[in-house]
Amino acid sequence: MRIAVCASEGAPYAKSGGLGDVMEALPAALSRIEGNEVALFLPFYNKIKSNAAYTTELVAQFRVQLGWRQQYAGVMKLTNRADKVQVYFIDNEYYFGGRTGAIYGDMDDGERFAFFSRACLDAMAVLGFIPDVIQCNDWQCAPIPVYLKALYHESFPNTRCMYTIHNIEYQGWANAAFFDDVLGLPWEYRNTLDMNNSVNVMKGAIETADLVTTVSETYARELMYPYYAHGLDGILANAAWKLTGITNGIDTNTFNPETDKALPAHYNAETFEEGKAKVKAALQEEVGLPVKPDVPLMVMVTRLAGHKGLDLLCYIARRLLWEEDCQLLILGTGEAQYETFFKELQEQFPEQVAAKITFNLGLAARIYAGGDIYLMPSKSEPCGLSQMNAMRYGTVPVVHATGGLKDTVPPCDENGEGGLGFTFQSYNADDFLAAIKRALALYNEQPENWKALIKKEMEMDFSWDVPAGRYMELFHHMCSW
């Protein structure tokens, strides 16, 4: 099957979050399936262009019609990728060159990604790469299914389109003029994109894609409710017949405690006791905490953003640190209020708290491995990847039972049996604290059961093989229509 994957970011080239990780692993997993030919389309950001590690070749140039504008697009083929995925970067200096270096956040993001979306389709047509399926992601690529239906039917008469939502908070809102001025779509699509007299490109994608997926089964159900759907619940409820959840995997080669170069010691499900202890000691030392093997180390690697549930942690942090002999280590950057809170917490509890307000992949790996308990109280979480990273490294998660957290961390009882971690149901700080205390009690009082839980987690298969198979099922399903 010929598959085109389109996204605004993809590791290792450009990544701002989980979407970037998925766009590294999913195309690769699909390309390992026999008979598949996979092309990945990404913007040619300046930092990709200027990175000598990537060699590219210009394979096509054309103009993209965006409303009244015609904008240059170059297609740069990556020539030195090791696996079978063919990567094409869409080049346009004005939209993706010389900007701040951040992937998002420009005033004209709407126009930048409308350009990218349309350029992907033009590129496929010019290259003669006519896919059976286009899989496209999040609001940035939401114009793709709309364009495909409205303007590209002749070039792609049999191509089906799957639209995948990684986060419904960002929908691609624009004022009504965007419809003619930038998208340049035929008038009969006005209603498809209209929401409250504005343009909402994600709504357009949901309505025009052949299938809509999101990144966990629970999140797919949650999206029918106003609490989670940020205004799109009605639209998604109408589209329920074509909405499916496929829980992400993680790249188990990159995230492997037996080989991860960032770790000072290596281990597997048999040898974790010694290995994790070594990493923990080195980690405590690295972040300036007292090196205490028996004190439970609670960790978090996260963007410091409200929906990650930091308000719950802020609310209970002092009580937890007073009541329990434990350590807390946070790595991440984000909203100023949280950065300040954790810095102050570290000042108040220097023996117990380390706040690393930075972005550091190596340290992140050492935290996944060296921690005992991984906290992830997200208010909502489409899938979440770091809880799986943590389990793969033998760190027990405490999570809010929502979205992908609910699907990947089944709750265990107070003996650590029957599940993989500790969960709480309602988004409430005291419930979160109670779940942490259950984890601490198991750690402190039942070391044998604690070890059995770690072993079970490390033996889980979080690889992409299963989800990639589910994507294939849906691709075949679409193509059978």
| Binding site residues, ligand GLC, CB under 6 A | 17-19, 22, 166-167, 215, 248, 381-385, 404
Min dist. Cβ of residue 419 to ligand GLC (A):
20
Min dist. Cβ of residue 18 to ligand GLC (A):
3
Min dist. Cβ of residue 461 to ligand GLC (A):
18
C-beta closer to ligand GLC: residue 11 or 265? 11
> CA dist 41 to 10, 122, 255, 415, Å?
9, 12, 25, 48
Min dist. Cβ of residue 20 to ligand GLC (A):
8
The answer to whether residues 382 and 216 touch, using CB atoms and an 8 Å cutoff, is: yes
* 3-state secondary structure at position 88: strand
Helix and strand numbers, DSSP H then E, in the chain: 20, 18
Residue 235, C-beta contacts closer than 8 angstroms, at least 6 positions apart? 203, 206, 207
Antiparallel, parallel or unpaired: β 69-78 and 86-91: antiparallel
The answer to whether residues 9 and 22 touch, using CB atoms and an 8 Å cutoff, is: no
C-beta closer to ligand GLC: residue 377 or 384? 384
> CA dist 217 to 58, 220, 238, 245, Å?
40, 5, 17, 4
Min dist. Cβ of residue 311 to ligand GLC (A):
17
C-beta closer to ligand GLC: residue 248 or 463? 248
- 113 residue type, one letter: F
Min dist. Cβ of residue 49 to ligand GLC (A):
25
C-beta closer to ligand GLC: residue 118 or 406? 406
C-beta closer to ligand GLC: residue 353 or 390? 390
User: What's CA 372's distance to the chain center, in Å?
Assistant: 23
C-beta closer to ligand GLC: residue 312 or 405? 405
First to last CA, the chain: 15
C-beta closer to ligand GLC: residue 215 or 283? 215
Q: How far is Cα 337 from Cα 143, in angstroms, rounded to an integer?
A: 35
Q: How far is Cα 263 from Cα 276, in angstroms, rounded to an integer?
A: 10
The answer to whether residues 329 and 371 touch, using CB atoms and an 8 Å cutoff, is: yes
Residue nearest ligand GLC (C-beta atom): 18
CB burial class (10 A; 0-12, 13-18, 19+) of residue 426?
Answer: exposed
Min dist. Cβ of residue 404 to ligand GLC (A):
6
C-beta closer to ligand GLC: residue 22 or 365? 22
Min dist. Cβ of residue 460 to ligand GLC (A):
17
